[in-house]
Amino acid sequence: MRSVVLAVATALLLSACSGSGSSDPRAGETPVVHSPTPTPTETIPPRPPTPPPPHACYRLGYQEALAPTIDKKPSPCTRNHTAITFYVGRYDKKLAVDGKAVHRLEATVCPHRFAAFVGGTIEDRRLSMLRSVWFTPSVRQAARGAHWFQCVAIALHGGKHLARLQGMLRGVLGRPAARARYALCGTAEPGSQGFEPRICSAGHRWQALRTIAFRPGRYPGQDKVRSAGRQTCQDAGRAVAQDPLNYRWSYAWPTLEQWRAGQTYGVCWAPG
């Protein structure tokens, strides 16, 4: 009888202990304090690099003019300079700054804008040492949102040097005196040893007179381009000679390499 009572008492005790533990499901757990929900920090993207001014001047060297980007800051156009910005355009932000699509855009837009900027005829531009080059932002600048390209006018002095520019060049080839300053000359007879193209405002011995244009397309062959300009260039040399019975002239026809680079014309020369 005692053992039965003890067993019942023990069962009541266990049930009481069990009941006291299940009355609060969090009893016995370590209290946890939760931090409030953090307020998100607003991220302000960096401002994209500023595009170059539309008529900026620069003091560039020859190698700098061949680079894809400009690292120098503009200099006052009233001081010595060798390059002038004549157009700043934009390209689609989806395009890669160093991709073929952007390069084709620059190579199309800049020469077209250059023709309108310097003026004159296509013959005037071919017989000058003025050239158009173009630049883009760096890859790092493009990643920050710079999507512009820059068309710049330069003048070749001769060899690997740029000539100093006078004024802003707008319409320069439409003015005879200015056109003569930037005209194409040479240090010797074309094709001879020592020949080098030279701006006419520098020392020279030969001068380009006119061009012999060919239809763009497939290269006609050396024999055809060579024979096409002989009589025309001879007549051009006679026209500027002091003695029409004793004079010199020269004709430089385009090679296959030059043709592929875009020069689809020959040039008539005479001493001068």
State how beta strands 206-213 and 184-186 pair.
antiparallel
**Model confidence band, residue 54 (pLDDT cutoffs 50, 70, 90):** confident
pLDDT band at 2 (very low <50, low <70, confident <90, very high): very low
Q: Are residues 234 and 131 in the same domain?
A: no
- Where in the sequence is the domain holding 269, given as residue range(s)? 183-272
Tell me, yes or no, whether 159 and 67 share the same domain: yes
Does 1 map to a domain? Answer: no
Q: Has residue 27 been placed in a domain?
A: no
Average pLDDT over residues 48-56: 88
What is the number of structural domains in the chain? 2
**Count of alpha carbons within 13 Å of 17, Cβ hemisphere only?**
5
What average pLDDT does range 55-63 have in this prediction? 96
Helix/strand/coil for 101: helix
Residue 27 has pLDDT above 60, yes or no: no
- Residue 34 placed within a domain: no
Residue 49: what pLDDT?
A: 83
Looking at the fold, whether 148 and 231 belong to one and the same domain comes out as: no
Read off the pLDDT band of 45 (50, 70, 90): low
Whether residues 209 and 271 share a domain: the answer is yes
More confident residue, 43 or 204: 204
Judged against a pLDDT cut of 80, whether residue 62 lies above it is answered with yes
Span 127-175, pLDDT tens digits: 999 999 999 999 999 999 999 999 999 999 998 999 999 989 999 999 9
Per-residue pLDDT, averaged over 91-108, amounts to 96
Does residue 269 share a domain with residue 228?
A: yes
Does the residue 65 lie in any domain?
yes
**Across 13-27, average pLDDT:** 36
Grade residue 48 by pLDDT with cuts at 50, 70 and 90: confident
Instruction: Tell me, yes or no, whether 43 lies in a domain.
Output: no
Listed range (18-22, 117-121, 201-205, 225-229) with the worst mean pLDDT: 18-22
Containing 272, the helix (H) or strand (E) segment is: none
Considering the domain architecture, whether residues 155 and 235 belong to the same structural domain is answered as: no
Measure the CA–CA gap between 254 and 267, rounded to whole angstroms: 8
Stretch (H or E) spanning 50: none
Mark which of 140, 171, 202 sits at the end of a domain: 171
Per the domain annotation, does 20 fall within a domain?
no
The predicted-structure confidence for 106-136, as pLDDT tens digits, reads as follows: 999 999 999 999 999 999 999 999 999 999 9
Average pLDDT over residues 74-91: 95
Do residues 131 and 237 both lie within one domain? no
Distance CA 235, CA 272 (A): 16
Q: What is the mean pLDDT of residues 249-257?
A: 97
Are residues 154 and 217 part of one domain? no
Give the mean pLDDT of the chain: 87
Same domain, residue pair 167 and 188? no
Considering the domain architecture, whether residues 163 and 201 belong to the same structural domain is answered as: no
Question: What percent of the chain lies above the pLDDT cut of 90?
Answer: 79
Evaluate if residue 56 carries a pLDDT over 90: yes
Residue 36 banded pLDDT, cuts 50, 70, 90: low
pLDDT at 250 > cutoff 60: yes
Report d(CA 251, CA 266) in Å as an integer: 7
Final residue of a structural domain among 171, 203, 237 = 171
Answer whether residue 186 shows pLDDT above 80.
yes
Would residue 119 count as lying in a domain?
Answer: yes
Average pLDDT over residues 206-229: 96
Of the residues 144, 171, 198, the one at which a domain ends: 171
Q: Quick check: is 19 in a domain?
A: no
> Do residues 53 and 167 share a domain?
yes
Same domain, residue pair 268 and 213: yes
pLDDT of residue 47: 80
The Cα 172–Cα 103 span in angstroms is 27
